[in-house]
Amino acid sequence: MTGQLRLAPLRPEHVSALRLRPRADSVLARLGRPEALAARYAEGGPAWTLLAHDWPLACGGAVRFWPGVGELWCWAGEGVERFGVGFARQARAVVALLGATHGFHRLQAHVLETDQRARSFALFLGLMPEGRCPGFGPDGTTYMQYGRYAPWKE
């Protein structure tokens, strides 16, 4: 099914059409409209949408903190499981692309501590666990920080 997937630059209508998983939807609702948040993220760094037959499956990218350092973000929609392998491979390729062509020497991500699937996904992307962040979530939950820095190792 990976042949049906393609990356496109993030557009507001992608976020509007993305059916977020209930947990993500409830957390992001605390931060305002997802379209507005995604627009701010896209202003801060490269951002894409993964499409299946022109339907948004996931949106993500990296927000620059300062030159060379970025925070990865990814919002996966409800249908992403049907394209799990293709989604995972595309995400890993995007992380490599960010390091190789967008000037990042460090990428990091914060992952909900109780979300084992997301923690495993961070490891799959080549990020290493760096520690707990109690109270980091917009709802006060504990997150784990993961990071990856140059030289990029594939």
> pLDDT (tens digit, 9 = 90+) per residue, 38-82?
889 899 999 999 999 889 999 999 999 999 999 999 988 888 889
Using the predicted structure, report yes or no on whether residue 19 has a pLDDT greater than 70: yes
Q: Residue 78: how many CB atoms within 10 A of its CB?
A: 14
* pLDDT value, residue 152: 57
Cα end-to-end span (Å), the chain: 23
Which residues are 77's β-sheet partners?
A: 20
- The pLDDT value recorded for residue 3 is 62
Q: Return the CATH superfamily for domain 2-149.
A: Gcn5-related N-acetyltransferase (GNAT) (3.40.630.30)
Model confidence over 102-149: pLDDT tens digits? 989 999 999 999 999 999 999 999 999 999 999 999 889 999 999 999
Paired tokens of 22? 């209930």
